[in-house]
Amino acid sequence: MKQNMGTLDRTIRVIVGVGILAFGIYSGSYWALVGLVPVLTGFVGFCPAYLPLGLSTCRR
């Protein structure tokens, strides 16, 4: 998998994902699982939704 996310995109995803994750844990709902998606894509640097759209925020 080739990286298709830049540093700012990754940082924003991790911050928002941790927020959703914290809300889900605090409220005891399944939002915690939804919060894992942006956290994981932020750490990996690859977003599968960008492929069909041909998007890349990576500077390379």
Extents of the domains making up the chain: 7-44
pLDDT tens sequence across 18-48: 999 999 999 999 999 999 999 999 999 999 9
pLDDT at residue 59, rounded to an integer: 84
Angle in degrees, 0-180, between the axes of helices 7-27 and 31-44, rounded to the nearest 10: 160
Q: Is residue 59 a contact partner of residue 11, using CB atoms and an 8 Å limit?
A: no
End-to-end CA distance of the chain: 14
pTM of the model: 0.86
